[in-house]
Structure 1
C-alpha cells in the first residue's frame, strides 16, 4: 500500500501545483476587483447611508450584504486574469518549456487545470443560486426598513393569480371571481409589510375590466393582506350599455398569495432568484417582474457557469506560446484579455436577446460558449503546428 502511494504521489504533484496556483491567483484577482467595485458602490451610496444616520455600522452592513453579488460578477473576469498571470509567469520562467520538453501537450496542460476550474465554477453556481438571492433580499429589506422617506420608493406592477379583494365581491355585484388580477403598488415600507397606493384591476377572460379598486394602505399579517380606505368601482356590461357602480369601504381582505419578501423582490430592478424560485416563478407560484425568457436563460446560464470558466481558461492559454526572450514585451496577453472581454460582451448580447424573447433560452446561452471555445482551440492548434 505504501509503495502504491509513493508511485501515485508524483503524478498529482503537477495537478496540485497548478490547481493551487490558479485558485490563489483567482482569489487575489477577486479581492482586487471587489475592492474597486465596493469603492465605486460606496461613492454612490455613502450619502444616503449618512443621511439615514446609519454610521460606520451601516457602511459595513451595506458592504457585507452586497459582497456576494459583487463576487458573483467578478468571478469570470478574475479567472481570466488569473489564468493570464499564471500562464505568463510560467512562460517567462521557462516552466512551460520544461513541461513541454517532458511531453506535456497543451491539452494535457488544460486537463490538469479542469478540476480547479470546475471547482471554482461550482462555487460560482452555489454562490449565485443560494447565497446571492438571500443576501440581496436581506439588503433590500434593510434598505427599505431604514428608509426615512419610503414614499420615494419604486412603484411596480404584477399579476396576482386569483387575487380578489372581498370588498368588491358579494351578491350585489353579480360578478364571479376572476382567475387573475393586475395590481399596481405605489411604494412599500417596513421591509415589504406595508404597501401604499394599491390599485387592483380585475379583468374578464377577453380582457375587459370588471372591477377596479384603490386602497390607500395595505398591511400584511398572518391572515393575509388587509386593505383600508378603499374606493371600488364595479363595471356591468349589458347588450347595448355599460354602467359603473362606485362604492367606498373602510377595510377588506385581499386574497393575495404573495408576502412581504415577494413585494421586496418586485420593488427591486432585477432581483436574483434561486433555481427553485425560478421554477416557481415560471409556474406562477411566486411573484416576479421578469419575463419567462429571462428566467429560463438565467437558469441555463447558471448551470453552464463551469463551462464558461473553462472557456475563459482556453482563451488565456495562447499565452503559453510567448517566446521566453520576448517576455512582457509581447502583446499576446493583451489580445487574450481582449478576447475574454469580447466573450463576456457577446454572452451579454445573446442573453439580452433571450431576455427579450427573441431567442429561446438554450440559443441565448450555449452558442457563445461553443463559438469562443472553437476559436480558442483553433488558435492553440495553429500555434502547435508552427
Structure 2
C-alpha cells in the first residue's frame, strides 16, 4: 500500500527537475532575447557607422550573449518557478502530491538539485565565460573604433609602479600618453617616465616611443636625456589594458585573487573585489532563496484560480530581493559596508521572511 500511495522518489525528482529546468530556460531565452533587442537598438547605429555591417551586428550580439544570460538567470529562475508551481497548483497536481504525503518541505527539497544546477551555471558564466566574452568584445570594439583618441584616461598600479594611460587603441596593442611613476619600498617617488606612445609586438614586447625621464634623488630631481625608443619591462599584455580601460569589467575569480594579492594590476579597491568574489560564489544560495520566495504559490485557493494575487506578490518579493541585493552590493563597492555585510544579510533576511510565510500557510 505504501508503494502505491507514495510516488517513487527519484521519478518525482526527475519530473520536477525537468519541468523546472524547462520553464527556467524558456524564461531565460525570452528575457535574453528582449535584452539583446534593447542592446542592439542602442548599438546598431555605431556598428553601422563603423561599416561593420550585418557581421558586426551578429558579432556584437554573440559576444554580449553570456553577459546577458548571467544577468537574466536569477529573474528567470523566479519566473520559471512561479509559472511551474502555479500551473501545477491550478491543475490540481499539487493537491494530488500533498494527498499522497508530499509536504511543502519535501517539494522544496526535490527542487533543490535543479536550482543548484542553475546556480552553478550562473557561477560558470560569471566566473569563466562572461569575463572572456566581454574582454573579446571590448578588444573588438576598441580595434574597430575610428576615433580611439576620444577614449577616457585611466590609472592603475602594478607592484610599486603607478601609471596613467591617456587612451588605448588597436585592441590594446597601442597606448597613447603613458606616464609611469616608480616608487621605492617606503612609497617615495623615485622616477617618472613619460612616453608619447607605447606599441606591443610579440617579438619585442612593449616598446616606448619619445621617452622623457626624471630621476628623483631627494631633495633634487634630474632630467635625463630623451630617448627615441626604450623597452618597457612589464608583465602586462594588450588584453590587460583593454580590461583596465573598461569600466567595471567582469573579472574571473583567478583575476580577482591575483589583484588582491598584488600579482595583477588593478584599478579597484580591495573591498570591491572581495564583495564581487563573495557574491559570485553565493549565487547558488541566492537561487535557493528565490525558489523559497516562489513557493507560497502552492497555496493558491482552488476557487480563486488565475484571479489570485499570490503569484504577483511572490514576483514582487523576488524582485525586491534582487534589488535589495544590488543595493547592498553597491554600498559594498563604495566602501560603505564590509563585503560580508554587503552580501550575506540579504540572503538571511529574505530566507527568514519566505520561511515565515510558508510556515503560516502550512499551519492553516
> Normalized against structure 2, the TM-score is what?
0.94
Supply the distance in 2 between the matched residues of 1:59 and 1:325 (Cα, whole angstroms).
50
**What residue number does 1:28 align with?**
26
CA contact (8 A) 1:160 1:257 kept: no
Structure 1 unaligned blocks of 5 or more: 1-5, 162-179
1:141-152 map, 5 Å: 141-152=139-150
What is the CA–CA distance in structure 1 between the aligned matches of 2:152 and 2:44, rounded to whole Å? 20
Are residue 296 (structure 1) and residue 277 (structure 2) matched?
A: no
Q: Does 1:153 align with 2:151?
A: yes
Moved more, 253-262 or 370-379: 253-262
Distance in 2, matches of 1:32 and 1:109, equals 27
Aligned to 1:313: 291
**8 Å contact from structure 1 (residues 157, 182) kept in 2:** yes
Between stretches 18-27 and 145-154, larger displacement belongs to 145-154
The superposition leaves residues 286-337 of structure 1 with CA deviations (integer Å, 9 ceiling, x where unpaired) of 2232221121111111111111111001001111111011012111111111
Distance 2:94 2:212 in 1: 76
Asked if the contact 2:7–2:100 (Cα under 8 Å) also holds between the matched residues in 1, the reply is no
The alignment's C-alpha RMSD in Å is 1.9
User: Where does residue 353 of structure 2 map in the other structure?
Assistant: 375
Within 5 Å, which residues of 2 pair with 1:193-272? 193-204=173-184, 207-222=187-202, 223-238=204-219, 242-245=220-223, 247-272=225-250
| SS of the residue 1:60 aligns to | helix
C-alpha distance in structure 1 between counterparts of 2:158 and 2:209, whole Å: 19
1:175 aligned residue: none
Aligned to 1:326: 304
Q: TM-score, normalised to structure 1's length?
A: 0.89
Out of 306, 313, 327, which is 1:349 matched to?
Answer: 327
Report the alpha carbon displacement of residue 359 of structure 1 after superposing the two structures with TM. Answer: 2.8
| Cα pair 2:157 2:267 within 8 Å, conserved | no
Equivalent residues in 2 for 1:1-40, closer than 5 Å: 10-40=8-38
- Cα deviation, 1:168-206, whole Å, max 9, x if unaligned, reads xxxxxxxxxxxx121110111121111011112234555
Find 2:47's aligned residue among 25, 46, 49.
Answer: 49
| Distance in structure 2 (CA, Å) of the matches to 1:247 and 1:47 | 48
Q: Distance in 2 between matches of 1:154 and 1:45?
A: 19
1:45-104 deviations in Å (ceiling 9; x for gaps): 111100111111100000001100000000000000011111111111111111111111
Match of 1:363 in 2: 341
State the SS of the aligned residue for 1:191: helix
Gaps spanning 5+ residues in structure 2: where? none
Deviation at 1:154, TM superposition (A): 2.5
SS at match of 2:349: helix
> Which of 101, 104, 107 in structure 2 is aligned with 1:106?
104
Q: Distance in 2 between matches of 1:249 and 1:205?
A: 27
Give the 3-state SS of the residue equivalent to 2:359 in structure 1.
helix
CA contact (8 A) 1:233 1:247 kept: no
TM superposition outliers: structure 1 runs of 4+ over 4 Å: 204-208
Would you say the 8 A contact 2:296–2:314 is kept in 1?
yes
Q: Deviations over 1:8-47 (max 9, x none)?
A: 9933222111111110111111011101111111111111
8 Å Cα contact 2:256-2:273 kept in structure 1: yes
CA distance in 1 between counterparts of 2:221 and 2:164 reads 24
- Say which of 114, 117, 120 aligns to 1:116: 114
Distance 1:383 1:257, change over 3 A: same
What displacement does 1:152 show?
A: 1.4
The aligned counterpart of 1:283 is 261
2:183/2:189 contact within 8 Å kept: yes
Change in CA separation of 1:243 and 1:136 when aligned onto 2, cut-off 3 Å? closer
Q: CA deviation at 1:370?
A: 1.0
Contact kept, 8 Å, 1:215 with 1:227, in 2: the verdict is yes
Query: 1:98-125 CA deviation, whole Å, 9 max, x = no partner?
Result: 1111111110010110110011111111
Whether the 8 Å contact between 2:243 and 2:249 is mirrored in structure 1 is yes
- Once the two structures are TM-superposed, the CA of residue 353 in structure 1 deviates from its matched residue by 2.3
Contact 2:158 2:264 in 1 (8 A): no
